[in-house]
Amino acid sequence: MMSDQGISEDSLNDVDAPKQSNLPKVLLLSAIVAVLIVTFVFLWGGKDQLRKVRAGYAAPDFTFRDLSFKDVSLSQYKGKIVLLNLWSTTCPPCIDEVPYFENLYQKMKGNEGFQLLTVVTNRGEDATVVKTFMDKHGLHFPALVDTKKVVYSRYKLTGWPETFLIGKDGIILDKFVGPKEWDSPQFIDRLNKLTKG
C-alpha cells in the first residue's frame, strides 16, 4: 500500500526494523578459531612446550658437541647418575660456581656410575669462547656447546645456572636453581649413595 508521498509500508517497516548485530557470530567464530589454534599447538607443535621439566619427569634428551667437536648425547649416559649443569660463561653466578664443579669432577671422576655434564647454552658462545674460558680458569670437567639455546628452551630455563640431578633411568631426581657448593661432603655422599643404588 502506498502513502501520499509514494513510500510503501514495506519500505517503512524495513527502515524501522532494528539491525541484527554481527557480534554473536564474530564471538562464535573467534572461539572456534581459538580452539583450533590451541588444538593445533598441542597436537603438532606444543607437546615439547607443555612438557614438565622437574623432578619425576624424563630429562629431555639432546646432542651437542664437546670442546673436541665430538657429539655427546644425554641418552648415552643412561644407567649412570648424571649431574647436568646449564650455564653461560657470561653469567656471574655461573662463574662463581665453576670451581665447585671442578672440585666435584676431580673427586668423582673415578666413580664409574656418575657423570658430570655441563652445557654452555648461549648464542655467541662457541667452542672457541668456551675453551678459552675453561683454559683461563683451569677447568677440566666436560663442557658441551649449545650456541642456539636449544637446551635452554627444552629445559624451560628461567636463567643461569640451573642444574638437574638425573637418575639412572633418565628421570629427573632434583632441580637446582642458582649456584651451589657442589663439592660439599653431603652432596658427594648423596651422589655416592645414588650410584650404588
Predicted confidence at residue 140, as pLDDT, reads 97
The stretch 78-92 carries a mean pLDDT of 97
Is residue 110 a contact partner of residue 104, using CB atoms and an 8 Å limit?
A: no
Residues 149-178 as b or e (16 or more Cβ within 10 Å = b) = eebbebbebeebbbbbbbbbebebbebeee
Which of 41-45, 51-55, 73-77 shows the lowest per-residue confidence on average (mean pLDDT)?
Answer: 41-45
Predicted confidence at residue 73, as pLDDT, reads 97
Residue 76, classed as helix, strand or coil, is helix
Predicted confidence at residue 24, as pLDDT, reads 73
- Parse the chain into domains and list their residue ranges: 9-47, 52-196
Predicted confidence at residue 43, as pLDDT, reads 46
Which of 20-34, 78-92, 179-193 shows the lowest per-residue confidence on average (mean pLDDT)?
Answer: 20-34
Residue 37, classed as helix, strand or coil, is helix
The stretch 141-154 carries a mean pLDDT of 94
The stretch 72-79 carries a mean pLDDT of 98
Res. 1: pLDDT tops 80: no
Predicted confidence at residue 65, as pLDDT, reads 95
Tell me yes or no: is domain 52-196 CATH 1.20.1740.10: no
pLDDT band at 33 (very low <50, low <70, confident <90, very high): confident
